[in-house]
Structures are given as structure tokens and as C-alpha cells.
Amino acid sequence: MAKFKSIRGMNDVTPKEVAIWQLVEKSIRSVFSSYGYEEIRIPIVEQTELFARSVGDSSDIVSKEMYAFEDRGGDGISLRPEGTAGCVRACIENDLLRVDSPRLWYMGPMFRYERPQKGRSRQFHQASAEVFGIDHHTADAELMMLARSLWTDLGIRNNVNLEINSLGNSETRKKYKSLLHEFFKEFSSDLDKDSQRQLKENPLRILDSKSEAIKGLLADVPSILDHLDSDSEDHFNKLKDLLTQSNIDFEVNDRLVRGLDYYNKTVFEWKTKDLGAQDTVCGGGRYDGLVEQLGGKKCPATGFSIGLERLVLLVKENSKGNGPSTNNLDCNFICLTSESISYALLNAEKIRKEIPSLNLKVNLQATSANSQFKRADKSGSKIALIVGEEELKDNTISIKNLRGKESQETLSLDQVIETLKKL
């Protein structure tokens, strides 16, 4: 019989890898909360129209990459390819924007039908932060400060670099698209199929092309920064000043546009040189028109998303063998007879009640003592709790320090608990 395999681009995270994921997730929760951001949880599935209206129905995400289908009721739904649209929908539906400038964060899986490669999967995970109701440059700056704090907490501050740009307002982008159209029209024969399509639909997206041939044309592309409206220019200059005052190094990249239609004014990316082609670890920007576009009242907003697969890889690459260990057991209950297993289970529950933070595993198979001790050692356990015929008869437990030279002792349950409390 043929074995089942995971769907291409949708990967398992085995226990060996989970520890570093947990470390990263714990750091995200801690840092985001320390800045006053509140967690929101949103569905994995949304109406397809939500993404067509927000991301742009001519974007690669909507036209090529979404997992879109009809449910049993005939409604068009999609696995979320990104989180911002769903977060905005949730804020409108639950009337969260009546609160004074909500700052939210969320984390979970996203789905895009892309070519799998290192740091890019079809099911991938993001952690995102969103700020609503503030059109001031300080909101953009705080997000970049928050990201920097996360990099520092994870020990990768020197492995990421910040790039920023401004896309101006809607009128700026309209005029700039016309300039780009005229520029690229001269090179239309040199454009690949995707870029030719984007030339008609949204030439801004050509600037985000991953094609090396297209990148060669970009050197002479007119800069959007030369065509900013006065408000956007002022916003961008104040942002740069504040980042400088905050000792956040950055590079202005006037080709940075991001791949989604809803951005205006500030866009930014944190990049690394440690992961090859998939170099963007975090990306975001301002989306002042999206709330209104999705049926809410006019409300400025800004945010970012972190690719967790890439972040985990980056943390792992730079841990130099000092990353989190999966060997986190404190104790192992070793059962020398089949009758002792029930006794161990009952006493393990009593121990956990007294010491909730203790990681205690009961061996549920009475294999040889030698094999159980080997497994306990491999698991990282500090202490072995041993139950055999003598312990059962005397209602005791033997305790042995697996990492020290102390001799084995036989104690009552209360004495064992007091000993374990000192771990």
C-alpha cells in the first residue's frame, strides 16, 4: 500500500524543530505585549472577494496563488494568503475601531500556491502587528522600533537591515504609474510575460520583479521620491529623522514597493544576507485607505508581517549551536514492573499538582532498566524516579540524580516532592 505524503509545500514541524519555533513565538508574544499590542485571532478562511478587493484582483496573489474554492453553499471562499485584510474585516465587523487607536497583533498560517524553496512554503506562518487610527509618522516608527526589539531579543539584531521608501498618496501613485508605463513601454520586448501583463494592469509591480533581466532595467527607472506630494514628503522626512534619533540604521530604497495594492506613503522591509534569495524577513507599510475600501469608516492604518519560517531559519543559523534544546524534561519515571506503571501514574499526578512547572514523563512500558535509563538520559532528564517491586511493597519511590554523583535514595512521596522542589 502506498504511503501518504504531505502536500508539496506544506511541511511538518517535528518535535526536534518545535523548540526553536516555541522560542521565537514566545519572544514575539513577549515583545509585542511589551509595546501595548493586543492579540486578535482571525479565521484562516475568508470570502474570496475580501482579498480581490484588498490585495488587488490583478495581483499575482489573487490571480495565481490563492487557494480559492466554493464551499457546500456555493460561496466563494479562500485560504488566507495574508492577514491584514482579515484583520481589517474583523475590526469593522466587531466595531473595534471605535476604541482609541487599537494596536493589534496576530500569528498563524497563510497559504499561497508558490514554488517551494528555502524559506518559502505553500503553507507558511506570519506574525503581524497593525496600528489603526494614527496617520502620524510616529506609528510607522514605533513598528520599526518594535521589530528592532524583537531582533535584539532573538540575538539577530546585526543580521537584518532596514530598507524604507514612500509611495505617496493615490494621486502620486497615479502619476507615477503613467511615468513607469511610458518608461517600460520602450523595453516592452525585453519584458517577460508577467511584466508585460503588469505593464497594462499596474506597472508599479514591475519594480517588485524577481527576474534578473528586469532588475537590469531598473537602474534608470524614474524615482517615485522625485514625484511625492508635499504631505507624503513631509511624512517621510519626519520618519527618517525619528529613525535616526532612535539609532535605527536604514537605507532608502526608492524601488521598494511591496507586492500588495493597498499600500500608501511608508513601505519598509527588514532584510538579511544570511538566507540567500529569500532575504525579506519582515515587510509592511501604511494602508490608510483599506478600512474604507472594505466597508468601514475612513481610518488610517499601518502594519507589518514577519515570515516565521525565515525568522526561525535566521535564528537557527545564528545560534551557533546555542539554540534552544528539545531536551527539556526534568524527571523520568522508570517502571521496572508492569504493576508499577499504575503506581507511577498516580504518584506523578500528585507530584504535578504540587509542582505544576515540573516536566515529568512516565514510562508506560516496563522494558529493561538499562533501556529506560538510556532513554531518560537521552531526553535530558535531570532526575530518575524509580519504582520496582520493593518500592511498590514499601509505598516508596527511589530517586537518582542523572547529572550528579549523589547516590540513589529511597524516599516517601512527600520527601520526593520536597527534593524536586529544590530543582
Packing angle, helices 170-185 and 193-201, rounded to 10 = 140
Has residue 303 been placed in a domain?
yes
**What is the domain-level CATH number for residue 275?**
3.30.930.10
Q: Please state, in angstroms and rounded to a whole number, the distance separating the CA atoms of residues 148 and 313.
A: 17
Q: Residue 285: what pLDDT? A: 96
Q: Please state, in angstroms and rounded to a whole number, the distance separating the CA atoms of residues 136 and 222.
A: 27
Assess whether 241 and 103 both reside in one domain. Answer: yes
58 band by pLDDT with thresholds 50, 70 and 90: low
Cell of 331: 524527571
Has residue 76 been placed in a domain?
yes
Assess whether 313 and 335 both reside in one domain. Answer: no
Q: Domain range for residue 81?
A: 15-168+228-317
Assess whether 161 and 260 both reside in one domain. Answer: yes
Assess whether 142 and 262 both reside in one domain. Answer: yes
Assess whether 245 and 372 both reside in one domain. Answer: no
**Boundary (domain end) residue, out of 286, 317, 348:** 317
Decide: 329 and 383 in contact? Cβ < 8 Å.
no
Q: Please state, in angstroms and rounded to a whole number, the distance separating the CA atoms of residues 101 and 37.
A: 11
Read out DSSP for 2-53? PPP-PPTT-----HHHHHHHHHHHHHHHHHHHHTT-EE----SEEEHHHHII
Has residue 352 been placed in a domain?
yes
Has residue 208 been placed in a domain?
no
- What residues contact residue 407 under an 8 Å CB cut-off, 6+ apart? none
Assess whether 304 and 337 both reside in one domain. Answer: no
Give the type of residue at 190.
Answer: D
Q: Please state, in angstroms and rounded to a whole number, the distance separating the CA atoms of residues 322 and 316.
A: 9
Residue 329 predicted with pLDDT over 70: yes
Region 321-327: mean pLDDT is 52
Region 132-138: mean pLDDT is 95
**Boundary (domain end) residue, out of 317, 351, 371:** 317
Assess whether 41 and 89 both reside in one domain. Answer: yes
**Boundary (domain end) residue, out of 262, 291, 317:** 317
Q: Residue 422: what pLDDT? A: 86
Q: Residue 317: what pLDDT? A: 87
Region 49-71: mean pLDDT is 84
- What residues contact residue 34 under an 8 Å CB cut-off, 6+ apart? 149
**What predicted TM-score, i.e. pTM, was given to this entire model?**
0.85
Q: Please state, in angstroms and rounded to a whole number, the distance separating the CA atoms of residues 332 and 287.
A: 53
Has residue 66 been placed in a domain?
yes
Assess whether 312 and 339 both reside in one domain. Answer: no
Assess whether 378 and 302 both reside in one domain. Answer: no
Q: Please state, in angstroms and rounded to a whole number, the distance separating the CA atoms of residues 62 and 261.
A: 11
325 band by pLDDT with thresholds 50, 70 and 90: low
Q: Please state, in angstroms and rounded to a whole number, the distance separating the CA atoms of residues 406 and 412.
A: 18
Assess whether 410 and 302 both reside in one domain. Answer: no
**What is the domain-level CATH number for residue 336?**
3.40.50.800
Decide: 203 and 175 in contact? Cβ < 8 Å.
no
Assess whether 74 and 129 both reside in one domain. Answer: yes
Assess whether 365 and 400 both reside in one domain. Answer: yes
The predicted-structure confidence for 268-310, as pLDDT tens digits, reads as follows 999 999 988 779 999 999 999 999 999 999 999 999 999 999 9
Q: Which residue has the cell 508635499?
A: 230
Please give the tally of structural domains in the chain: 2
Read out DSSP for 258-274? -S-TT-EEEEEEEE-SS
Q: Residue 206: what pLDDT? A: 74
SS3 of residue 246 by DSSP: coil
Has residue 219 been placed in a domain?
no
Region 400-410: mean pLDDT is 89
Residue 188 predicted with pLDDT over 60: yes
Has residue 379 been placed in a domain?
yes
SS3 of residue 371 by DSSP: helix
Q: Give all strands (DSSP E) within 344-411, no chain letters.
A: 360-362, 383-387, 397-401, 409-411
Has residue 199 been placed in a domain?
no
Burial of 334 (0-12, 13-18, 19+ CB in 10 A): buried
